[in-house]
Amino acid sequence: MSHLILPKTWQRPEKEITPENVFNNRRHFLKLMGFATAGIAGGLLAPPAFAKGMETKLTEWMMGSNRVAGLKPLENLNRNPDFTIRRAMTKENAAFKYNNFYEFSAEKEEVWKTVDAFKPRPWEIEIGGLVEKPGVYAIDDFIESFKNVEERVYRHRCVETWAMVVPWNGFPLSDLIKKVQPENKAKYIKFTSFDDPTVAPGQKRFSDLPWPYTEALTMAEAMNELAFVATGIYGHDLPGQHGAPIRLVTPWKYGFKSIKSIVKIEFTENRPSTFWNTVIPKEYGFEANIDPDVPHPRWSQRREKMIGTGDIFATMKYNGYGDYVAELYE
Ligand code: MTE
């Protein structure tokens, strides 16, 4: 008997993302042309061929207002088509101005205004613990040693219920792990952020919090193909507020696992303590997998609100990435 092998949901071609600005511009364009009907702006009602050039011009013009000025686009960046999703991309300038980064501020809309004194270069990253190839590397040498730099569009969901759709660039965490060769005894990977209250006002203000910020994954989680080391966002290097120069991205987990501005990566036998799990263990578990059926003790996790548009969606278990990760937890 033959089996039907269905592609994973996010690999089906109709799930290819339409960047939000293209989507909106197409709608806008169609409206101008007098064809637009709400809800049918994609696929079936593509603009007629004669209008394509005009649509491109309109797209470029509209993109200008969505982008953040002064960040140099990276060359030769390829989007990995396996990691695209149908939901509209969050506008860059909305993501840029709404961040969680307690080292700087507890006010999400203030973080971007407080990062100027923080300099992500020069920067060193240390690899240590139970590993065959420990070392300390200058960040750009380290990043350049990974050949498979790619862009991935991921959902990004904070435990506070806000969400985004973000194009990260970087490389799979599994590539890093294979390169440094952890010992068999290593069961966890621990990440540590920088600690410098002279440039990070939040570290001064909230001096009783257990700085530096730390996070950790099991080795099985870290080797999952979704676990990503981001060195950039929206086609350029990471700006300070998104965790320059290097951060973790684990899109099936609440955003607090995606630690920013990493200075150290260690391999350990025992489960390391982690920042929010230490501060409020009853509210922030170690695993922190996204699950609409498990409410936060102070709020429901059933819905999420998109930054930039305010659209509300039902939260998906594992943030919609169950095909990749559910087996880790069976
Ligand atoms: N990393 C550090 N070092 N400090 C933080 O406060 N906040 C986390 C995570 N990584 C945080 C961090 C939380 S709660 C979230 S939701 C995401 O970063 C937010 O990432 P973004 O601002 O790039 O969207």
Cα first-last separation, the chain: 28
Closest protein CA for atom 19 of ligand 1: 100
Specify the range with the lowest mean pLDDT, choosing from 72-81, 117-126, 174-183.
72-81
Residue 23 pLDDT: 39
Q: Is 255 in the pocket of ligand 1 (CB under 6 A)?
A: yes
Q: What is the DSSP letter of 196?
A: -
Instruction: Output helix, strand, coil percentages for the chain, rounded to the nearest 5.
Output: 30, 20, 45
pLDDT at position 245 over 80: yes
CA–CA separation, 169 and 236 (whole Å): 8
Q: Which atom of ligand 1 is nearest to the CA of 164?
A: 24
Residue 70 pLDDT: 77
Cβ atoms within 10 Å of 118's Cβ, excluding its own: 19
CA–CA separation, 39 and 305 (whole Å): 19
pLDDT at position 115 over 90: yes
Residue 35 pLDDT: 35
Tokens of 118: 């923080």
Residue 76 pLDDT: 86
pLDDT band of 65, cuts 50, 70, 90: low
Specify the range with the lowest mean pLDDT, choosing from 82-91, 131-140, 292-301.
82-91
pLDDT > 70: percent of the chain = 80
pLDDT digits over 3-62, tens only? 454 444 333 333 333 443 443 444 444 343 333 333 222 221 233 333 334 434 444 444
Tell me the chain's radius of gyration from C-alpha atoms.
21
Mind listing the domains of the chain with CATH numbers?
A: 1-63 (no CATH), 75-329 (3.90.420.10)
CA–CA separation, 138 and 126 (whole Å): 9
pLDDT band of 75, cuts 50, 70, 90: confident
Q: Pick the residue with more confidence: 295 or 147?
A: 295
**Element spanning 155, H or E:** strand 150-157
Q: What is the DSSP string of 71-131?
A: PPPPSS--B-GGG--SSPPPPHHHHHT---BTTTBS-TTTGGGG-TT---SS-EEEEEESB
Cα 102 to ligand 1 centre (Å) = 8
- Note if the pTM is more than 0.75: yes
Q: Is 261 in the pocket of ligand 1 (CB under 6 A)?
A: yes
Q: Which atom of ligand 1 is nearest to the CA of 202?
A: 6
CA–CA separation, 261 and 172 (whole Å): 17
Contacts 24+ apart (CB under 8 A), 196-200: 198/117, 199/117, 199/118, 199/119, 200/103, 200/104, 200/118
Closest protein CA for atom 9 of ligand 1: 256
CA–CA separation, 285 and 307 (whole Å): 24
Helix axes 52-66, 20-33, angle to 10 degrees: 130
Residue 122 pLDDT: 97
Q: Is 274 in the pocket of ligand 1 (CB under 6 A)?
A: no
**Site to substitute for ligand 1 among 92, 100, 196, 209, most atoms within 8 A of C-beta:** 100
pLDDT at position 144 over 70: yes
Specify the range with the lowest mean pLDDT, choosing from 28-37, 255-264, 313-322.
28-37
Per the omega criterion (within 30 degrees of 0), is the bond before 167 cis? no
Residue 147 pLDDT: 86
pLDDT > 90: percent of the chain = 75
Tokens of 265: 């990566």
Span 210-219, mean pLDDT? 98
Q: Is 240 in the pocket of ligand 1 (CB under 6 A)?
A: no
CA–CA separation, 205 and 197 (whole Å): 9
Cα 290 to ligand 1 centre (Å) = 15
Q: Which atom of ligand 1 is nearest to the CA of 261?
A: 3
Q: Which atom of ligand 1 is nearest to the CA of 254?
A: 16
Q: Pick the residue with more confidence: 148 or 207?
A: 207
Residue 154 pLDDT: 98
Q: β-strand 303-306 against 312-314: which pairing, if any?
A: antiparallel
Span 200-206, mean pLDDT? 97
